Amino acid sequence: MLRIRNLHSYYGPIEALHGLNLEIGEKSIVCLIGSNGAGKTTLLKSISGMIRRTGSIEYGPESNDIIAMSPKKIAKMGILHVPEGRHVFPGLTVKENLEVGTVTWRSFIRGGSIKEDIEKVYELFPRLSERRNQLSWSMSGGEQQMLAIGRALMGRPKLLLLDEPSMGLAPVIVNELFKKIQEINRQGIPILLVEQNAKLALEISDYAYVIEEGKIVVEGESKGLLNDPRVTEAYLGRVAKS
């Protein structure tokens, strides 16, 4: 699905990622964990074409290299990014925010029905259906996160990038949200999940990478990393049992 090789990413003259390698397989959830400033968000921005990068990012069954493509073209190929902080459109209703998500594949000028797509999002997130005519600024953080993910789903993603979906949310909402993320994956959409809640991310993912100072330092099957001392001591707040 997606294969990254020797990725270097830059903010102006500053190199933030240093020869990073990563793969996302079909129908899998891959998580990326690490401390603040380690390069997690930078990796998602690199995949989405939002910052300058070099190396190789091969995507799709034909392994097309998207490293030189614009964010618009990458999104049209089906790589959709839910950014940290949600970034819903505050002056638009829930329904209008969802409609914005179709711009990667639909012309509003020509029209066309998107009712079925919206109903699928409402089925996944019933609270959005209840608030379909509510302005998004007035919604709770959890509801806005559901809306941000729903908006991405309206773009018919082939790969979903999620940046810190649990940030600022109550534990009960986080658990509910992560069940929905698993449900989205069961529908056949592969996911790259960047998440501060390392334990929960490892529990729902298939494979995991640990990033430090712009480099991958540990990788492996997620269940194995749950008891890896290098991970448990640094990111799970406990020492692995011997």
pLDDT at 238: 53
pLDDT at 85: 85
Q: Report if pTM > 0.85.
A: yes
Average pLDDT of every residue of the chain: 91
Tens-digit pLDDT profile for residues 215-228: 999 999 999 999 88
Residue type, 105: W
Length of the chain equals: 242
pLDDT at 241: 40
User: Is the CB of residue 199 less than 8 Å from the CB of residue 212?
Assistant: no
pLDDT at 106: 67
Give the residue ranges of the chain where pLDDT is below 50.
108-109, 239-242
pLDDT at 107: 56
- Element holding 232 (H helix, E strand): helix 229-235
pLDDT at 240: 40
Q: Which domains does the chain show, CATH number per domain?
A: 1-78+158-242 (3.40.50.300), 84-156 (no CATH)
pLDDT at 213: 94
pLDDT at 230: 83
Tokens read off for 23: 């793969």
HSE value, Cβ hemisphere, 13 Å, CA-based, for 143: 19
Residues of the chain by 3-state class (helix, strand, coil), percent to 5: 40, 25, 35
pLDDT at 63: 83
